[in-house]
Amino acid sequence: AMLVGGVVSVWRVRNGLVRAVTELLEQLGGSKSGIKTEQERDISGTAIVLLGLASFATAGMVYFEALNQAVLITVLALFAMAVMAFFFSAVASYIVGLVSNSNSPVSGMTITAVLLTGLLIWTSGYTGPEAMMATLGVAGVVCCVACTSGDVCNDLKTGHIVGASPRRQQMMQISGV
């Protein structure tokens, strides 16, 4: 039931995901969107990509060390983490927009991350401590991503209501994380 609800939520946010990725690619391509006011400015697309890559590399190094320098299982864990974090952050943000931060189904997303990662790693032939560490590592990161994305979305929503600058809020959120 949780998985079906998650798929439905991802389906509902598909247009927003496409718009967000399109806008990021336009920013990276040098296209200017004509934003003029401080209340409409975000951090740059380049900064988003660089911070994302740095986070991805850090997670990769942690996984690699925790998994006894096993390259294939590290790659599988990173793949699972990236895909689920991308979609679950969108679901958490969507839920915050609908019903508030306190009702975000982070536990369900974390359980789904455990199940899907465990299935991926098990079907790839890994068992034992490395498989458990990879599964729990992915679930931990996905849980933190879902929680943080919901919190940031809630903060940005509140900031918008009071007229705060999204760019400055985003810079402070990054500092806090």
Phi-psi region of 34 (alpha: psi -120 to 50; beta: other; left: phi over 0): left
Cβ distance 177 to 147 under 8 Å? no
Amino acid at residue number 134? A
3-state secondary structure of 34: coil
Confidence check: pLDDT of 5 > 90: no
DSSP-assigned letter for residue 30: T
**pTM of this structure:** 0.79
3-state secondary structure of 144: helix
Confidence check: pLDDT of 44 > 60: yes
Amino acid at residue number 128? G
- Give me the pLDDT at residue 126, please: 92
Over residues 75-95, the mean pLDDT reads 90
Cβ distance 74 to 63 under 8 Å? yes
Of 98, 109, 122, 116, the C-alpha closest to 148 is 109
- Give me the pLDDT at residue 21, please: 79
- Give me the pLDDT at residue 138, please: 95
Confidence check: pLDDT of 77 > 90: yes
Confidence check: pLDDT of 176 > 90: no
**How far is 170 from 75, CA to CA, in rounded Å?**
29
Rounded to the nearest integer, the mean pLDDT of the chain is 84
- Give me the pLDDT at residue 60, please: 93
- Give me the pLDDT at residue 91, please: 84
pLDDT single digits (tens) 114-170: 999 999 999 999 999 999 999 999 999 999 998 888 888 888 888 888 988 888 999
Q: For 54-58, 83-87, 100-104, 114-118, which range has the lowest pLDDT when averaged over its residues?
A: 100-104
Q: How would residue 25 be classed by pLDDT, with cut points 50, 70 and 90?
A: confident
N- to C-terminal Cα distance for the chain? 32
